[in-house]
Amino acid sequence: MGNKHNLARGVTVVGAGMSKFGIYKDRNSKDFFIEAFQDMRASVDKGLDPRDIEALYIGNFSNDFFVHQAHWGPILAELIGHTPKPATRTEGACASSALAFREGVFAIASGFYDVVLVGGAEDMSKRNTEEVTEGLAMASVSYERDAGFTFPGVFGALATAYFHKYGATREDLMNITIKSHNNASLNPRAQFNMTIRDMMNAKIEKCKVRGEPVPTWKTEKEFLSDPVANPPVAWPMHLFDCCPISDGASCMLLVAEDIAHNFTDKPLYVAGLGQGSGRGLHAAEGLTYFEATRYAAQEAYEMSGLKPEDIQFAEVHDCFSMAELIHIEDMGFFKPGEGYKAIAEGQTRLNGSKPINTSGGLKCKGHPVGATGVGQLYEVWKQLRGEAGARQIPNKNLRVGATQNLGGTGGTCTMTILERR
Amino acid sequence: MEERPFNDNSYQQFLNEEKLMGSKCKACGAVSVPPRPLCSKCYNTTMEWVPFRGIGKLAAFTSVFVGPPYMVKEGYNRKHPYIAGVVELEEGGRMDARIEGMDATRPELIKVGTPLIVTYLHRDEGIEKKTFLAFKPI
């Protein structure tokens, strides 16, 4: 009680990979994981002999429901020649692979293993949208389901509470969507690799070709305000406030600090880890923040000795635009009720003072739920190594990045801080 | 008052009887709706049932245009959205509930803070029979 959270020995990230998230009707989780695994192997500067991996931790939320196959630990272990060594599946809804990452870190910090592979996978496209909605809602609480809440519905409700308390509007959320698409247009791995403006132009072109009336949107916000182009899903959450259904996998190679240089001269250090648990809407402390994220952030800051202003950029769990606004406040980047103003000022843009979701976020990069936590860390890996290409943050001294992953309706939240030393 | 276990099942049985019931810890007085068998404040397990009047106000809401299969089965769709809300109860505490008597097609006109009163929606017959907690404007 009250002890400072610390690792018994240092843990580093020396490799990372992900599959290109998207809809793949003719491929499954094994295909996605192999793609991520090969990408990870290619990223290890001094090479990896896969036989050196001692344990595997895999996040998967609900392939049980989506494709009627559970028990993904040994299945993926067999796939990469890891058997008979241990493989463990972690489940924390959409935060499943952030939990796998934590378990991998703990396994090394304890001294039990030196080389661990962590990751996640999810295969969602084999079910229709209504079924996926139902499957995801398995991670909410029963009272929410009885009331008819969907996931977009929960974030829609939080938005109405936030709007009421702080005076933000739908237009403030549009700033988030526009920014995410701008970043994604620079990310070749994004599921929606285009700006809102690109999408508007494509739709206008289509209308011209078909001889249909051409829409008259002038600005991105006019497009996003058009109920035909951007219909409500769970008001005030509209289509462009919501992340897509995606398939994909991600993985990361973790090794003990003392052997990191066998793999790379540029390891990233696990500087901060935090995880919290939350209650459903009916029992939550408040309706404009997640107590689990605040707790996770407090843990991660305490362990790292860092403060919110030390985090130079972050990937946060923007399953819905409203979620991004809540998270950047819960992580302490902006005061409660101030986040939307900072967004409007451009502070969270790629060239802003606190770039958020440089990958395009879940909204545009895609959200194969079990793969997302490590997928977010993949972006931090890319940015801190200066390998983010066109979306590289224009800061020569980029050293500290963080992720925030959320499962269910705030039931499981994590914060992870990686540092280049 | 009642010899029922303090759990979800009893809570649902009470809803079926058109009663909104919570638990009160006899040791520290903490009230909870839905009921809980263990007080999360003082860890005591001696509880008593307390009725809620079913008066409250709207704390948060959404108008759902794309619902899950069980709501689609009730006839809701893009053209016929429904409202799900969080209701702040007069006695303290909140509940998730369906919101009736407000125009789900015009959610921009709905105000957080609207005073509400409980109503009970009885759905389906036979073994699937279930009552859902709902609120409507006073």
Confidence of residue A2 (pLDDT cuts 50, 70, 90): low
A94 is catalytic: yes
- Please say if the pLDDT value at position A336 is more than 70: yes
Angstroms from B59 CA to nearest CA on chain A: 6
Helix spans in A259-392 (H): 291-304, 321-330, 339-344, 361-365, 369-384
| Among the partner residues A131, A146, A281, nearest to B132 by beta-carbon distance | A146
Bridge partners (DSSP) listed for residue A247: A22, A123
Residue to substitute from A144, A169, A282, interface B, most B β-carbons within 10 A: A282
Sheet holding B21-25, edge to edge: B31-32, B21-25, B47-51
pLDDT of residue A234: 97
Tell me if A149 and B71 make a contact (CB, 8 A cut-off).
no
In chain A, which residue's Cα lies nearest the Cα of B120? A147
In chain B, which residue's Cα lies nearest the Cα of A161? B60
Angstroms from B5 CA to nearest CA on chain A: 18
Residues A144, A124: Cα–Cα separation, whole Å: 22
- Kindly report the average pLDDT of chain B as a whole number: 94
Confidence of residue A183 (pLDDT cuts 50, 70, 90): very high
Confidence of residue A355 (pLDDT cuts 50, 70, 90): very high
Mean of pLDDT values over A324-347: 98
- Please say if the pLDDT value at position B1 is more than 60: no
- Kindly report the average pLDDT of chain A as a whole number: 96
Reported in sequence order, the residue ranges of A204-325 that DSSP labels E, i.e. its strands, are 232-235, 237-238, 247-256, 268-277, 313-316
Chain B positions touching A150 (Cβ under 8 A) are: 64, 66-68
CA of B128: how far to CAs of A93, B8, B15, B51, B131, in Å? 28, 17, 15, 26, 10
Mean of pLDDT values over A220-243: 97
Catalytic residue among A181, A317, A327, A367: A367
Q: Name, in order, each residue with C-beta under 8 angstroms of A178's C-beta and a sequence gap of 6 or more.
A: A195, A196, A220, A221, A224
Catalytic residue among A82, A94, A243, A251: A94
| Among the partner residues B59, B66, B70, nearest to A234 by beta-carbon distance | B66
Chain B positions touching A131 (Cβ under 8 A) are: 69
A34-67, pLDDT tens digit by residue? 999 999 999 999 999 999 999 999 999 999 999 9
A114-131, pLDDT tens digit by residue? 999 999 999 999 999 888
Residues A329, A314: Cα–Cα separation, whole Å: 12
pLDDT of residue A169: 97
- Please say if the pLDDT value at position B104 is more than 70: yes
Lowest mean pLDDT among A286-295, B85-94, B116-125: B116-125
Taking phi first (over 0 means left), then psi (-120 to 50 degrees means alpha), and beta for anything else, what does residue A302 get? alpha
Q: Identify the CA nearest to A139 among candidates A373, A369, A330.
A: A369
Tell me if B61 and A287 make a contact (CB, 8 A cut-off).
no
| Among the partner residues B62, B70, B113, nearest to A157 by beta-carbon distance | B62
Tell me if B136 sits within 8 A of B99, measured CB to CB.
yes
Residue to substitute from A129, A130, A146, interface B, most B β-carbons within 10 A: A146
| Among the partner residues B61, B93, B96, nearest to A144 by beta-carbon distance | B96
My answer on whether omega of the bond before A84 falls inside 30° of 0, hence cis, is yes
Geometric angle at alpha carbon A189, from A65 and A178, rounded to 5°: 95
Chain B positions touching A154 (Cβ under 8 A) are: 62
A367 is catalytic: yes
The single residue listed with the structure tokens 């957080």 is B112
Tell me if A279 sits within 8 A of B32, measured CB to CB.
no
B113-128, pLDDT tens digit by residue? 999 999 999 987 666 7
Angstroms from B130 CA to nearest CA on chain A: 10
Question: Coil, helix or strand for A300?
Answer: helix
My answer on whether omega of the bond before B137 falls inside 30° of 0, hence cis, is no
Tell me if A236 and B61 make a contact (CB, 8 A cut-off).
no
Q: What is the DSSP letter of A215?
A: P
Tell me if A407 sits within 8 A of A62, measured CB to CB.
no
- Please say if the pLDDT value at position A308 is more than 80: yes
Bridge partners (DSSP) listed for residue A418: A270, A401
Residue type at A204 in one-letter notation:
I
Mean of pLDDT values over A63-82: 96
Q: Identify the CA nearest to A96 among candidates A413, A420, A328.
A: A413
